Chains A and B, each alone.
Chain A
Amino acid sequence: MIKSQVALLRRELWEHRAIFVVPLVVAVVMVLTSLTGQVSVNDLKAIDMGIVGASNMPENARSLALSGILVGLSSPFVFAMWILTIFYSLDSLYAERKDRSILFWRSIPCTDFETVLSKLVTAVLVIPLVTFVIIIATHLLVLLNISIWIDFRGGSPWHLIWSAVPFADNWTATFVMLLALPLWLSPFIGWFLFVSAFTKRSPLLIAASPIVLLPLLEKILFGSSVVAETLFVRSVNMPLFAGLDNMDLLFQGEDHLEKLANAKLSLLSLMDLGGFLSNLQLWLGLVVCGLFSAAAIYVRRYRDES
């Protein structure tokens, strides 16, 4: 079972090269932006001022600022990962039917359950892991680039950057975030897999239709918006950050930010992992994902592809 699962996961990486290509493209954009951004600074004094400013910052504040840079670098990856996951899930059981290679895949000794499981594992685990590795490489490359500039202008990269970045905290938090997101959005992933297993054409259109039409229908027929709210809450309000209200950071002013900085801000401490894992909505979502995946297995097994 594990051996065949590993072989099937390798197949997914061979077939869906976007799993690497998409985060790599984001990485190249981020690294190039950091390079050209600094090259275009025509006034070297600005860099010098930055170095002086950073040197005079308290250590916690410098840590916070650097952590902010890393979070800023990671954010486009998280967005790209979710877009990638949508397209991957929609294509995963559709492409093999479209090119009729399903007849070959079904001629090898593995079950429909194992095959669909490998697609699900790719969506919720492999894509986040690949994204995570590329995020770390991007962080290191961008920090290296900044270090070179600091060194070039006589600053101390070790003091200003490498000893100050809370790597463990930031990367662990990023890792948790990347794994939590597909779990929280798993009902959508399950739905996409199911659509991918049964639709004869336009999986994106078929998958999006009920997500758009059901709230509209509910509004027209019953005047309520339960479906819309459920979908909205599921889309934007992941309870991983239950202890933190994003709005607080924006509206509580500099005092609050300073307090946060002095408190030696840790990204991990902003996360309520226990609360997330014990959240009923998370588990309900996983059950929905399981039901859709079971339906995808059923369709793949019983559908006549001739």
Chain B
Amino acid sequence: MTSLVSARNVSKSFGTLRAVDNVSFDIEKGRIMGLIGPNGAGKTTLLKAVLGLTDCQGSLSVLGLDPFRQRKELMQNICFIADVAVLPRWIRVSQLLDFLQSIHPRFSRSRAEELLSSTDIHSNSKVRELSKGMVTQLHLSIITAIDAKLLVLDEPTIGLDIIFRKEFYANLLNDYFDEERTIIITTHQVEEIENLLTDVMFINHGRVVLDTPMEDIADNYVELLATAENADKVKNLRPIYEKEVFGKKVLTFEGVDRQQLQGFGELRTPDIADLFVAKVKGAAA
């Protein structure tokens, strides 16, 4: 299978700061990749490099194109939502549709109108008259109406209430996603997208800390909830992270067979947020 996005030793510096530091990864077609990292980890810079909005060192190929030098061609097959505030506030919904119809070869106006007809957004409304949630709905509708191969979402639901956030992701899956399309998504609300993802990539201080399919997490990572006494007994299996919860120890293991931990406490697969903390803090310890 050929990669939709292929990065080899990609770096980007701002002065002395290496925002993205020698990163390599591949994203295949039909996947939903969650890019997770703390503020300033380099997520947005990496996404900008993928979108051709910033130049970088190393080799980066998106849909077989050099994103920075072939951005126009790339943008015919990529959509992105940077955050809810980027649609121009002065534009009318009908003008937005007119504009995209005339400039975007893969935009289907009828599809956008069909999607918008199930919302409260009127075609003669200006973006500035819409609520934050409605602007996001509008943005997602027009992007869904573009037959693009890759969708990049950078904190798409920031500032939205829980109902709009849930609706956004439901619409994303129902209306946009299929096996021909690929999504890269970053968000701080990891728990809300955990069930959508097929792959996850952790990034910290500009470096990739973890890059794995979701289905492999259960095979490679296990969390043990144990008494302090039992926890001491399995320390030789070198947990990557440990913490205390309600007087019990929680140990996270990588590459350890669950059989070896049986009988020492409760075993479970860590959720993404816990795994992220384990990988980032564990590496720092």
Q: Assess the B44–A15 pair: CB atoms within 8 A.
A: no
A202 an interface residue at 8 Å Cβ cutoff? no
CB within 8 Å for A96 and B88 given contacts A4-B103, A7-B103: yes
Provide the residues of chain B in CB contact with A101, threshold 8 Å. 86-89
A107 an interface residue at 8 Å Cβ cutoff? yes
B159 an interface residue at 8 Å Cβ cutoff? no
Give complex CA distance A10, B73 in Å. Answer: 22
A133 an interface residue at 8 Å Cβ cutoff? no
Q: Assess the B90–A7 pair: CB atoms within 8 A.
A: no
Provide the residues of chain A in CB contact with B29, threshold 8 Å. none
A219 an interface residue at 8 Å Cβ cutoff? no
The A interface is mostly helix, strand or loop, or mixed, namely: helix
A248 an interface residue at 8 Å Cβ cutoff? no
**8 CB < 8 A contacts A-B:** A4-B102, A7-B99, A15-B90, A107-B80, A109-B103, A304-B14, A304-B48, A305-B53
Q: Assess the A109–B87 pair: CB atoms within 8 A.
A: no
Provide the residues of chain A in CB contact with B54, threshold 8 Å. 304
Minimum CB distance partner of A114 in chain B: B72
B98 an interface residue at 8 Å Cβ cutoff? yes
Provide the residues of chain B in CB contact with A15, threshold 8 Å. 88, 90-91
Provide the residues of chain A in CB contact with B105, threshold 8 Å. 109
A110 an interface residue at 8 Å Cβ cutoff? yes
Give complex CA distance A217, B86 in Å. Answer: 42
* Chain B residues packing against A (C-beta within 8 Å): 14, 44-45, 48, 51, 53-55, 71-76, 78-80, 82, 85-92, 95, 98-100, 102-105
Minimum distance in angstroms from A124 CB to a CB of chain B: 22
Minimum distance in angstroms from B47 CB to a CB of chain A: 10
- Beyond known contacts A14-B95, A108-B104: 13 more, CB 8 A cutoff: A3-B102, A7-B103, A10-B99, A11-B99, A15-B88, A15-B91, A99-B85, A104-B82, A107-B51, A107-B82, A109-B74, A109-B76, A111-B72
CB within 8 Å for A109 and B72 given contacts A14-B90, A96-B88, A100-B85: yes
Give complex CA distance A305, B51 in Å. Answer: 13
Q: Assess the A104–B88 pair: CB atoms within 8 A.
A: yes
Q: Assess the B55–A108 pair: CB atoms within 8 A.
A: no
Give complex CA distance A15, B90 in Å. Answer: 7
A159 an interface residue at 8 Å Cβ cutoff? no
Provide the residues of chain A in CB contact with B99, threshold 8 Å. 7, 10-11
* Chain A residues packing against B (C-beta within 8 Å): 3-4, 6-8, 10-11, 14-15, 96, 99-111, 302, 304-306
Give complex CA distance A171, B92 in Å. Answer: 35
Provide the residues of chain A in CB contact with B87, threshold 8 Å. 101, 104
Q: Assess the A110–B103 pair: CB atoms within 8 A.
A: yes
CB within 8 Å for A306 and B80 given contacts A101-B89, A104-B86, A108-B100: no
Provide the residues of chain B in CB contact with A302, threshold 8 Å. 55
Minimum distance in angstroms from B88 CB to a CB of chain A: 4
Provide the residues of chain A in CB contact with B76, threshold 8 Å. 109
Provide the residues of chain B in CB contact with A96, threshold 8 Å. 88
The 7 closest A-B pairs by CB, nearest first: A101-B88, A109-B75, A7-B102, A7-B103, A103-B82, A103-B86, A104-B86
Give complex CA distance A305, B47 in Å. Answer: 13
Give complex CA distance A7, B99 in Å. Answer: 6
